[in-house]
Each structure stands twice: as structure tokens, then as C-alpha cells.
Homo-oligomer: A and B are copies of this chain.
Amino acid sequence: MEALKVGVIGATGYTGEELVRILCRHRQAKLSYVSGKEERTVRIQEIFPYLQGAVDLECRTFQFEEALGAADLFFLSLPHTVSMQVAPQFLAAGKKVVDVSADYRLKDTSVYEKFYKTAHRDTVNLGSAVYGLPEINRERIRSARLIANPGCYPTGAILALYPGVKAGLFDEQGIIIDAKSGVTGAGRKADKALNFSEVNESFKAYKLFEHQHVPEIDQELGAALGRPMSVTFVPHLLPLNRGILSTIYVRLRKDVTTDDLIKVYADAYRGEPFVKVRPGGALPELRHVAGTNFCDIGLRVNPGKKLAVIVAAIDNLVKGAAGQAVQNMNILSGYDEREGLWV
């Protein structure tokens, strides 16, 4: 089989860098184009010296025509609102697109406008875009031409809640997601608030009730439930590079034990290569998922309160972004879903 040629548009941010790293070890896809924000054209292995020997490719300033001829599938690791200007061109030319931005995740354009402060510019493709969470949408991903790769927070939160919501176990009005993310989640950028000395030895909540990932969680869980949902979501900034740990509080509709709840989840995720339901009430830790494409889930019921706590851990750059994007590529290309995503 001829190698699939893939391009990464936006290869110099954290997600783009991680995409390049994973694709360099992929045995079936071949990285054949990268573009980035560097002012001058420089080889990607000079920007990220650890890639020497693994790849030899110029990192160009993005030009559509040049990119078009260089690859069959494109990962768009671009700022929100930029992707929806680029994706239609690739799609019109018959290419496949995995969009890592938020532009094709929200089906309701009024919600998109509210959270991203701009009108949606590609409602045509928005309709056919598939939300790329393989554990829920694997079949639709297989035949998709445009994947909306999920946000980092939603990936962990939805995987942590989906089986219970679908089984009707939770009071869907009272779901509280207390999420904590490492700093790469904010992107590779100059920002005083992200200066090492501001973040190190500190911790804070931010964007209370108003984070742009809330509607994404509501949309996907609401689809599972069959009616609108509205979670409470409070993100925090952790002084570490990689990882999101979400501690989720749900009120139980039924008297279930910890073992019951674990069984519901273990059944739901049986056979999933990248979701691990921890046995016996064990809880995940970020160090066990950092650098991997895993989502680890731990569950505990407090029977006296009819309350469950669900803890989900992912690496925000891997399962929360680049790894899941490659997982989606693997699915839609008919590869082993785990290709390139070893520990």
C-alpha cells in the first residue's frame, strides 16, 4: 500500500509539534509537508532538534497551492477562526482534513458566535463535519472527509461522563466538572500571564462558567442523552506542562455501588484501545498518562450521599489533541488505530 502523504499546517505550536513527532514514527502515513509561523524557511528538524534523523523537511510559510500538491490529508493546527477559511479549500480539492481547532465542533452557529466572537464562515462543511471522538463516533469517522478533533477539556470530560449519562444514571442537572490543566493547553505564545514565574508555585481557577469548551461538552452529552444538557465547568491552571485531570461530581439517580458503576464503564469501553477504566476504585494520576494517548478513568460512589466522583486523566497534547487527531486519521485511513501511538 502506498503511504498516505500527510501535511501539518501550523507545526510550530505545541499541538503541531506533537503531531509532527507522532507522525515521524508512524509506519504508514508519511509526513510530507509542514508549515509554521517561523519568519524564515527553516527545516523542521532545526526548530525541534530531536527530530534530526527522524524527518528532513522544510517548515514553510503556509501557501495553499504549495501545500495542496504535497499531501493527501491535512491536519489543521491553526487558531480558531483561521481553520474555517482554509479547510473548505482543501475539501473542495478532494483532500481530507482533521481540524484541531474549534471551528467545526459546534453544530449550532449561534453558540459558536457567542463563544468565539465571530460569525461562522463555512456552514456548508460544518454540517458534514464529524466530531472526532472515536469512542463515540468511530463508525462515522471511518467515512468522514472532515474531522472536528475534540477540545482537550471535552475529551476527558465526555469520556468520563458518557456511559453514565447514556445509561441514565446521573441527574443531568447537577453535573460539576472541576478540571485542572497543564500550561501547554494555553498554547506556545508570548503572554505575561503564562510567564514561568507567574504560573510556577501558583494555581488558580479561570473563565468560570464561560469557557469555550462548555458548549462542546453540553452538545455531545446532550446528544447521548437525547435532550439538552448544561454542565457546570470550572477550569484551573496547573503548574506543569502536560495533562488534564478532571474531578467530576454527579448525583446518582439510582442506588449503585462503586463496583456497579465501574462495571457500566468497563462494559462501555471494553475493547477500546485508549480508554482504561481503573479497577476497584483506583484513581488516575497525570504521571501515568503523560506522553500517552490514554484516558484513564477512576470511579467512586459515596452511597450515603447518592453521589459519584469520576476522575479522568489525559495528556492534553496527545489524547486531548495530536494523538486523538492521529487516531482519527488511522480510523479514516483503515490503519491499526494504535499505529504511532505507543507508549
Contacts and interface: CB of A to CB of B under 8 A. Distances in A.
A276 interface: yes
A188 B196 contact: no
Contacts of A2: none
Interface in A136-179: 173-174, 176, 178
Interface in A75-124: none
A200 interface: yes
* Chain copies in the assembled complex: 4
A236 interface: yes
Contacts of A288: 48-50
A247 B249 CA distance: 13
Interface in A182-225: 182-184, 188-192, 194-206, 208-209
Interface residues of A, number: 79
A230 interface: yes
Contacts of A199: 196
B180 A188 contact: no
A28 interface: no
A49 B194 contact: no
**Which of A195, A285, A292 counts the most chain B CB atoms within 10 A?**
A195
Contact of A239 (B188, B190, B196, B302): B196
A72 interface: no
A300 interface: yes
Contacts of A16: none
Contact of A285 (B180, B197, B204): B204
Contact of A21 (B184, B195, B232, B343): B343
Given A194-B196, A230-B305, A240 B241 contact: no
A294 interface: yes
Nearest to A244: B203
Nearest to A293: B50
A264 interface: no
A48 B198 CA distance: 12
Interface string A227-262: 000101010101111110101010100000000000
Closest 10 CB pairs of A and B: A202-B287, A204-B285, A178-B178, A196-B199, A190-B190, A183-B196, A190-B192, A203-B286, A202-B286, A196-B196
Interface of A: 14, 21, 24-25, 48-54, 173-174, 176, 178, 180, 182-184, 188-192, 194-206, 208-209, 230, 232, 234, 236, 238-243, 245, 247, 249, 251, 273, 276, 278, 281, 283-292, 294, 296, 300, 302, 304-305, 307, 309, 311, 338, 342-343
